[in-house]
Structure 1
């Protein structure tokens, strides 16, 4: 188990995006995925550990590697996102049953063992899984950053409102990540 005071938490980034409103989110998800990949690379250079918290999409008998492979084989942006954000061998992966990465998962135990103090939370969807993971992280006492350029939602309004709520009510840092910007 790596010791990492800061942890990058990637929420639902390996995702088939096959829900009814997914088409509305696809372009922003691809842009966010590119920013997340740049941020992850920069944080890895600094020794920051990464944990993927992913839905299992109702297939409890599957392994994360099955989900990754299925998403990688999808055409277009869906497959590109999975390819861009595939975990490195040293990254940790947990499957979550619902929206928050903390709910009914070993995440809090992992973070405790890693001696984490700060979480940088990125992923899909800003107004659901990312927001609920960030609020749970704050309730657990972590400092939380949710870089606005590293998340996506079904609409710009939903993303903006979720980030506003995270910043105002939960005191999360929602500024764009400089490391995630295009060179």
Structure 2
């Protein structure tokens, strides 16, 4: 196992979480980094046109065309996700794509009642974003709930592949990313969330949920720092 990795510099939640609250977490040991294991897998969650729109637009414009879009926040994350895809392909590590399955009337549950716009996504909205689209060797996991583990064979795949660490990318930070990170932690996988390779329509919610995951469920770090750790894994064989 790699030693714990300390993240330095400005964090996404700086200026949002009050200093007095940050101090409480520091004093009581929350957020201790745990590092990566030897066998990581990359999860690319819901990076479909439904979550960003067909082209980079400010979110106020993007939601006029695709109400479920995160607009420019999603498009900013795509190059970082692409770099992680490249890194995982270079070391031969598994890449899995938990993704929103097309919804029909039988899928109208509690979440769909809260967010009725998810029932109006056009068919092409379910396509994967081209810059990070899966290859034939990747594993596709359709899902109908927030967590990539809920009602899917994801755990079975990870166990079968000998995975000990999941890298969670995609969207939304406060929804499917967080739900997946919590379940992965509960299953005793090491969890890493690259803070600039996940996205949300609310930047406040994005920051607060990164803070919460970093202190309870995952190591949260910039993509650049994660890439260094992945190179260390590859060098260690």
TM bucket (normalised to shorter chain) is 0.7 to 0.9
2:141 pairs with 1:94: yes
Please name the residue that 2:50 is paired with.
16
Q: Which runs of 5+ in 2 are unaligned?
A: 1-37, 52-62, 106-120, 229-237
Counterparts of 1:140-151 in structure 2, within 5 Å, are 140-151=187-198
In the alignment of these two chains, the number of paired residues is 161
Whole-angstrom distance in 2 between the partners of 1:8 and 1:124:
14
Q: What is the aligned partner in structure 1 of residue 169 from structure 2?
A: 122
Change (3 A) 1:176 1:158: same
Shift of 1:85: 1.5
2:64 equivalent to 1:30 = no
Partner Cα distance (2:92, 2:80) in 1: 18
* 1:14–1:85 CA contact under 8 A, matched in 2: no
Can you list the C-alpha shifts for 1:101-120, whole angstroms capped at 9, x where unaligned?
00000000111111110000
In 1: Cα distance, 2:201 partner to 2:48 partner: 17
Distance 1:71 1:82 in 2: 9
**SS at the partner of 1:90?**
coil
Q: Does 1:176 align with 2:202?
A: no
Instruction: Name the SS of the counterpart of 2:196 in structure 1.
Output: helix
Q: CA deviation at 1:97?
A: 1.2
TM-score (norm 1): 0.80
2:115 corresponding residue in structure 1? none
- With structure 2 as the length reference, what TM-score do the two structures score? 0.63
**Map of 1:63 onto structure 2:** none
Q: Does the 8 A contact of 1:9 with 1:52 survive in 2?
A: yes
Relative contact order (C-alpha < 8 Å, sep 6+): which is higher? 1
Structure 1 portions without partners, runs of 5+: 61-66, 74-80
Map of 1:40-55 to 2, 5 A cutoff? 40-55=85-100
1:64-94, Cα deviation, whole Å (9 max, x unpaired): xxx9x82488xxxxxxx71111101111001
Answer yes or no: is 1:162 the counterpart of 2:196.
no
The superposition leaves residues 35-82 of structure 1 with CA deviations (integer Å, 9 ceiling, x where unpaired) of 10111101210111100000113149xxxxxx9x82488xxxxxxx71
Computed over aligned residues only, the root mean square deviation of the Cα atoms, in angstroms, reads 2.5
Taking a change above 3 Å as real, the CA distance of residues 53 and 71 of structure 1, as seen in their structure-2 partners, is same
